[in-house]
């Protein structure tokens, strides 16, 4: 497969080569002219609107014991 080849010189590197690959069958003229409609258009109420993202409560950092890295906190 030339799209994900480990050797850089063996990959499909030009836009034309990628557009001609059978995996990417799409109306490229519509893409270039921004006439292709996305499958989902989010309704944003204001800047910073995150209502499409799930929120998770995280415990305060000082409540973790030393060396406890269950929640992905890193000390540098």
| 63: in domain | no
The answer to whether residue 33 scores a pLDDT higher than 90 is: yes
pLDDT tens-digit profile of 53-72? 888 887 666 655 555 566 56
| 65: in domain | no
DSSP 6-73: SSGGGS--SHHHHHHSTT--S-HHHHHTT-PPPS------STT--TTS-------GGGSPTT--TT--
In this prediction, residue 54 carries a pLDDT of 87
| 30: in domain | yes
| 70: in domain | no
Percent of the chain with pLDDT over 90: 16
| 12: in domain | yes
pTM for the model: 0.40
| 46: in domain | no
Total tally of structural domains belonging to the chain: 1
Domain extent at residue 20: 1-36
């Amino acid at each position: 497969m030339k799209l994900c080849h480990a050797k850089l010189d063996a990959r499909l590197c030009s836009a034309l080569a990628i557009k001609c690959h059978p995996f990417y069958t799409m109306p490229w003229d519509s893409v270039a002219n921004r006439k292709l409609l996305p499958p989902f258009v989010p309704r944003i109420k204001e800047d910073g609107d995150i209502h499409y993202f799930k929120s998770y409560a995280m415990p305060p950092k000082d409540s973790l014991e030393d060396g406890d890295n269950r929640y992905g906190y890193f000390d540098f």
